[in-house]
Structure 1
């Protein structure tokens, strides 16, 4: 799969159609906090670990910016619940 990585979005397309994506706009730009607010995988690609791969790639992007993550997407919340080793990157309100 060839991922298109842009600011605040990672996606996979075929013939101009988005088949998988994750979006992570700023929640608090001044603190480099990104809101993981949307994850989508087309039904034809589900069950192959693509959503998890999207989360991992987005985490790598945030980590490269020395940022933090506020997960609001239900899938991302579930992903972090299963991957306790990544909790250090989560944003905690002060």
Structure 2
């Protein structure tokens, strides 16, 4: 599995699979990352890529001692389905 990386210049977490990119944009306000948008390349949709992106994003968030505020509908729904990350949600 490819790692999720933080593209600081573009303010987004990225996951590359099969040469295509899935990403979650973020804006940082103090210790909170606002997640306004999550997107997977159309060729990756339906394969679990966005879920792996969210899992990697949340691991990075925890490692940094941050919290997320999901705005994107996908991020909200994913976090509701994964209560193990509730401690990292604002």
Question: TM > 0.5 between the two?
Answer: yes
C-alpha distance 70-19 of structure 1, shift in aligned 2 (>3 A)? same
**Superposition map of 1:13-24 within 5 A:** 14=19, 19-24=21-26
Look at both structures and tell me which one has the larger radius of gyration over its CA atoms: 1
Mark the runs of 5 or more structure 2 residues left unpaired by the alignment.
none
Mark the runs of 5 or more structure 1 residues left unpaired by the alignment.
none
- 1:34 positional shift: 0.4
CA contact (8 A) 2:12 2:26 kept: yes
**Residue 42 of structure 2 aligns with which residue?**
43
Moved over 6 A (4+): none
Aligned residues: 85
**Residue 74 of structure 1 aligns with which residue?**
73
- 1:2 positional shift: 6.3
* Aligned CA-pair RMSD: 1.9
**Residue 9 of structure 1 aligns with which residue?**
12
Q: Are 2:36 and 1:33 equivalent residues in the alignment?
A: no
C-alpha distance 4-75 of structure 1, shift in aligned 2 (>3 A)? same
Tell me, in whole angstroms, the C-alpha distance in 1 between the residues paired with 2:47 and 2:70: 22
- Secondary structure of the residue that 1:25 maps to in structure 2? strand
Tell me, in whole angstroms, the C-alpha distance in 2 between the residues paired with 1:40 and 1:59: 16
